[in-house]
Amino acid sequence: MNSAKTALEAFKNYLESEKNYSRHTVLAYIRDVRSFLESALEEDKDFDSIDPGKVRTWLFKQAQKGIKTVTISRKLSSLKSFYTFLIREGITSNNPAHPFKLPKHRVTLPEYLNVDDVFCLIEAVQGDDVLSLRDRAIIELLYSSGLRVSELTGLNLDDCSLDLQVLRIRGKGKKERIVPFGQKAKEAIQTYLEKRHELLNKATNDSEDNEALFLNRFGKRLTQRSIQRLIKRLRIKSGVSSNCTPHTLRHSMASHLLEAGADLRAIQEMLGHESLQTTQRYTHLEISTLAKIYDKAHPRANSLNDVNDKIKRD
């Protein structure tokens, strides 16, 4: 099993079956590794022929293309995982990616909407036709539960309990969690479900899409791209100036909960973050906001400018 194609296929199976990575993550890993192998492997050469110099050249070319540090870090991480897998399987004893450390990248604070902007976005959905009702339910649910867009499109009817007002979510790594949603989201979902059959009737054949909570105009499961277009359309219609995406609503939900005094661990559980450190980004956001308010209001707050600068750097 020394061909690149065979090794990549085995690596893909490993990521899917043993690591339980999502389809999107697996494709990203394979794409990264394939990119490297195409530039590093010469004809009739095996994996042992690849040295650290080729990894260095590949990384340098990525930087020359203007690729962001965080993306280069992910590519190198993919390559390290690939060679760790090859060594485990006895395909090679050589790991040319080992000498390289993952490049540090600046951690940016997540962008989020204020409460008024979120309400404007929601109220931009008007109409009582099935598509408008569906769109209203989508926006309400994204903000109410802080779902990733992939999690929302993956929802089936039996994942949603209107009585208990909870969702069963299959998140990253196929891990399941239970997430609550509010009364407004419940009402929006309930109203949409009363007309959902109008979309289902347009389906050309029976399929697993019939169980999808959110359907498109053809009776098929709604795609992530469709929801991204929906949010963009509503942002323009509502006049919200911020660059809003489905993920912005997720950030907004977490930030608003934190501002209202919600426990960080509870927010971590709702968002499905494996590490509390990921959720702690929102505490930095809140501290930054408080520092700016203090800086504007307090007569002896000039020194807070240094604090704001430090928070941005961190």
What is the model's pLDDT at position 70? 81
The catalytic residue among 14, 29, 112, 282 is 282
Domain count within the chain = 3
What does the CA dihedral 206, 20, 278, 111 come to, rounded to 10 degrees?
A: -30
Contact 116, 140 (CB under 8 A): no
pLDDT score at 214: 95
| Mean pLDDT across 256-266 | 77
Environment class of residue 135 by beta-carbon count within 10 Å: exposed (0-12), middle (13-18) or buried (19+)?
A: buried
- Alpha-carbon distance of 183 to 152, in angstroms, equals 18
Active-site residue (options: 75, 134, 136, 148):
148
Among residues of the chain, what percentage have pLDDT more than 90? 33
Indicate if 282 belongs to the active site: yes
Place of tokens 């509503």: 234
**Mean pLDDT over the full length of the chain:** 81
Looking at the structure, do residues 242 and 143 belong to the same domain, yes or no? yes
Does 14 fall in a domain? yes
Asked if residue 230 and residue 135 are part of one domain, the reply reads yes
Residue 294 has pLDDT above 90, yes or no: no
What CATH number did the domain enclosing 60 receive?
1.10.150.130
Tell me, yes or no, if 256 is annotated catalytic: no
Last residue of a domain, one of 88, 103, 125: 88
> Which helix or strand (DSSP H or E) is residue 177 part of?
strand 176-180
Query: What per-residue confidence (pLDDT) applies to 180?
Result: 87
Q: Is 21 assigned a catalytic role?
A: no
When comparing pLDDT for 45 and 57, which is higher? 57
**Count of CB atoms situated within 10 Å of the CB of 129:** 10
> Which one-letter DSSP state was computed for residue 211?
G
pTM score = 0.63
Specify the pLDDT at position 250.
85
Asked if 298 is an active-site residue, the reply is no
Say which residue, 66 or 298, is predicted with more confidence: 66
What is the pLDDT at residue 298? Answer: 42
Is residue 96 in a domain?
Answer: no
Rounded CA separation 71/179 (Å): 30
Same domain as 208, residue 307: no
Same domain, 178 and 239: yes
Active-site residue, from 136, 247, 251, 256: 247
Instruction: Flag the least confident range among 141-150, 212-221, 242-251, 291-300.
Output: 291-300
The question of whether 197 is a catalytic residue gets the answer: no
pLDDT tens digits, one per residue of 140-175? 999 988 888 989 999 999 999 999 899 898 866 667
List the structure tokens of 203.
Answer: 């389906």
Catalytic pick from 12, 177, 273, 284?
Answer: 273
Name the residue range of residue 77's domain. Answer: 4-88
Q: What is the domain-level CATH number for residue 239?
A: 1.10.443.10
Residue 75 amino acid letter: K
Same domain? For 154 and 213 the reply is yes
pLDDT at 244 over 60: yes
Q: Which of 172, 184, 237, 284 is catalytic?
A: 172
Question: Sorting pLDDT into bands at 50, 70 and 90, what band is 285?
Answer: low
For residue 44, name the pLDDT band (cuts at 50, 70, 90). very low
156 and 208 co-located in one domain: yes
pLDDT at 87 over 60: yes
Q: Is residue 302's pLDDT more than 80?
A: no
Q: Is 273 an active-site residue?
A: yes
Mean pLDDT is highest, among 18-27, 55-64, 183-192, 245-254, for 183-192
Q: Please tell me the distance from the alpha carbon of residue 127 to that of residue 122, in angstroms, as a whole number.
A: 12
Same domain? For 137 and 225 the reply is yes
For residue 284, name the pLDDT band (cuts at 50, 70, 90).
low
Of 196, 221, 235, 250, the active-site residue reads: 250
Arithmetic mean of pLDDT, 87-112: 78
Lowest mean pLDDT among 114-118, 215-219, 258-262, 306-310: 306-310
User: Can you say whether the dihedral through the CA atoms of 288, 149, 186, 262 is positive or negative?
Assistant: negative
Q: Are both 157 and 232 inside the same structural domain? A: yes
H-assigned helices in the chain? 4-17, 23-40, 52-64, 69-88, 115-123, 130-145, 149-153, 183-193, 196-200, 224-238, 246-259, 264-271, 276-279, 281-297, 304-313
Cα 239 to chain centroid distance, Å, stands at 25
